[in-house]
Structure 1
Amino acid sequence: MTTPREWEFAGVRGAVTARIWPNGGARYVALLSHGYGEHLGRYRYAADALVRHGAVVCGPDHAGHGRSAGERVLVDDVDAWVADLRTVAESARLDHPGLPTVLIGHSMGGLIATRYAQRYGAELAALVLSGPVLGRWDALTELLKLDEMPDVPIDPSTLSRDPEVGRAYVEDPLVWHGPFKRPTVQALQDAIDLANEHGSLGALPTLWAHGEDDRLVPLAGTRAGIEAVRGDDLTERIYPGARHEILNETNRDEVLADITAFIDRALG
C-alpha cells in the first residue's frame, strides 16, 4: 500500500492535519472528505485503490477530528470545514497543475462535499457521495428536541457486515466515541437546509452510492436530499444488504470499481 505523508496548515478553527497519498504518474486528484467523529486514516484501503487507478489522493482531518486541533467534533458552521477542504484542494492544484479534481465525500463528509460543490463546483471534474447526510436526517431532528445530548456511542455493527471494521472502529483512539454536541447538531441541520435550498449541482457529474441497509443514514432521507440537489448528470448505485460504510463493506471492491469506472467516464 502507498504510504501517506501528513502536513499541517492553519485552518479556519485552528491547525488542521492533512494527508496525501502521492502518485508520481497521477492523472487526477482525489479529494477525500471523511465522516463524523472519524478521520482520514480510516480510508487507507480506498486511497490505495484510487492511487492504483491513477489518483494522487489527499484530504484533511476535519477540525475537531483525528489529528487536527479543536474541541472534539465541535463546529458551529459546516462551511468552516468546507473552507479547510478547499485549502487542501488548492494545495493539490499548486502541486499538480492541470490535473482535474474529483471530490469524494462519505456520510457527514458527503454533506461537506455537497456544500463544496454547490459553492465551488466549477473547480471540480466530478463528485462522489457515499452514504451522504442530505435531505432529511431524522436523528438530528430528534436530538434537537432534547435538553441534553445522550451519551450513546455509534453501534459498530451498523458500519459494515465485516465485524473487523466495527472492532477497529471501537479500538481507534482517534475516533470520537462520546456524545454529539448541540452546536454541531444545529450546524449539521443548518447545512442540510442550505444544501436543500441551494438546489441543483448543474452539469457536475455526480455519483450517489448508498447501502440499502444503512441504519445510520437511512436511504429514504438521503434520497430526498439527492432529489433536491441533483443536476443533469446523476448516477445512482444502491448496494443490497450493505450498511453505512460502503467503502469498508464486504463488497468494497465492487464499490470502488463502480467509483473508478464513474471517474473514468467523468474524466472522458
Structure 2
Amino acid sequence: MTTERKWEFAGTRGAVTARTWAADDPWHVVVLVHGYGEHLGRYAHVADALVRYGAVVCGPDHMGHGGSAGERVLIEDVDDVVADVNTVADMARRDHPRLPLVMVGHSMGGLVATRYAQLHGDTLAALVLSGPVLGHWHVVDALLPLDEMPDEPIDTSTLSRDPAVGKAYTDDPLVWHGPYKKPTVKALDTALRRVNAHGSLGDLPTFYMHGAADELVRPRDTRTGIDRVRGTDLTERLYPGARHEIFNETNHEEVLADVTAFIEGVLT
C-alpha cells in the first residue's frame, strides 16, 4: 500500500487534517472528496490504485469529520467545505504547477465537488462523481421538517454487497455513528438548491458513476441533479446490483479501472 502523509492547515472553521499519497513520477493530481460522516482514511485503497496509475492524491477530512476540528458532522454552509477543498487543491497546484488536476467526489463529496467545479471549474481537467448527492436527497427531504433528529444508525447493508465493508464502517472510531445535526441538514438542502440553480458545468469532462441498487443515495434522485448540471462532455455508468459505496463494492476493481480509463482518456 502507498505511504500516506498526514498534514494540517487552518480551515474555514478550524484545523483541518489532510492526507497525501504520491507516485514517484506523477503525471496528474487527484483531489479526493469524501462523503458525510466518514473520513479520507477510508479511501486509502482508492488512492493506492490512483497512485499506481501515476497520480499525486490528496484531500481533507471535512470540518467535524475524521481527524479535523469541529463539532462532529456539523456543517453550517457547504461552501465552507468547498473552501477547504479549494485550499488543498491550491496547495497541490502550487506543488505541481505543470500537472492537470482531477477531482473525485463520493456521495456528499460529490455535491461538494460539483459545487467546486461550478465555482472553480477552470482549474480542473476532469470531474468524477461517485453516487453523488445531487438534485434532491430523500434523507434531507425526510429530516428537514423534523425538530428533533432521530438517532437511527445507518443500515450498513446499503453500503456494499460485501458484509466486511459494513463491519469495518461500524468498527471505525473516526466514522460518525450518531444522528444528523439539524444545521447540517439545512446546509445540505441549501447546497442542493444552490447547485441546481447554478446549472451547467460547461465543457468540463465529467464521469458520473452510480450503483444501480443504491438505496442510500438513489440514482433516480441524483438523475434530477445530473440533468441540471450536465455539460457538453458527460460520461455515465450504472453498475447493476451495486450499492452506495461503489469504491468498496464487490466489483470495486472494475470501478477503479473505469476511473483510471476515464482519466487517461481525458488527459491523453
Q: Shared fold (TM-score greater than 0.5)?
A: yes
In 2: Cα distance, 1:44 partner to 1:233 partner: 29
Question: Could you give the per-residue CA deviations for residues 159-186 of structure 1, whole angstroms, max 9, x where no partner exists?
Answer: 0001110000000000000000000000
1:236 partner SS: strand
Show the counterpart of 1:56. 56
Shift of 1:24: 2.2
Q: Which runs of 5+ in 1 are unaligned?
A: none
**Which aligned pairs between 1:79-90 and structure 2 lie closer than 5 A?**
79-90=79-90
2:199 maps to which residue?
Answer: 199
Distance 1:96 1:86 in 2: 15
Residues in 2 aligned to 1:90 and 1:185: alpha-carbon distance in whole angstroms: 28
Q: C-alpha distance in 1, partners of 2:138/2:110?
A: 17
> 1:14 maps to what in 2?
14
Aligned residue number for residue 180 of structure 1? 180
After TM superposition, the structure 1 = structure 2 runs for residues 1-268 of structure 1, keeping only pairs within 5 Å, are 1-268=1-268
Shift of 1:23: 1.6
240-249 vs 18-27, greater mean Cα deviation: 18-27
Structure 1's consecutive aligned runs of 4 or more residues displaced over 4 angstroms after TM superposition are none
| C-alpha separation in 1, matches of 2:23 and 2:138 | 40
Q: Which amino acid aligns with 1:50?
A: L
Determine the C-alpha separation between the residues in 1 that align with 2:125 and 2:211.
24
Secondary structure (helix, strand or coil) at the match of 1:88 reads helix
Q: What is the number of equivalent residue pairs in this alignment?
A: 268
Cα distance in structure 1, aligned partners of 2:55 and 2:22: 8
* AA of the residue aligned to 1:187: A
CA distance in structure 2 between the aligned counterparts of 1:259 and 1:128, rounded to whole angstroms: 8
The percentage of aligned residue pairs carrying the same residue is 68
Give CA-to-partner distance per residue, 1:22-75, whole Å, 9 cap, x none: 222000001000000000000011110000111000000001000000000001
How far apart are the structure 1 equivalents of 2:165 and 2:152? 19
Give TM-score, length-normalised by structure 2: 0.99
- Alignment partners' CA distance in 2, 1:20 and 1:147: 39
Name the Cα RMSD after superposition: 0.5
Q: 3-state SS of the aligned residue for 1:223?
A: helix
**Alpha-carbon distance in 1 for matches of 2:45, 2:242:** 17
Amino acid at match of 2:5: R
Counterpart code for 2:226: I
Q: Which runs of 5+ in 2 are unaligned?
A: none
Letter paired with 1:168? A
TM-score (norm 1): 0.99
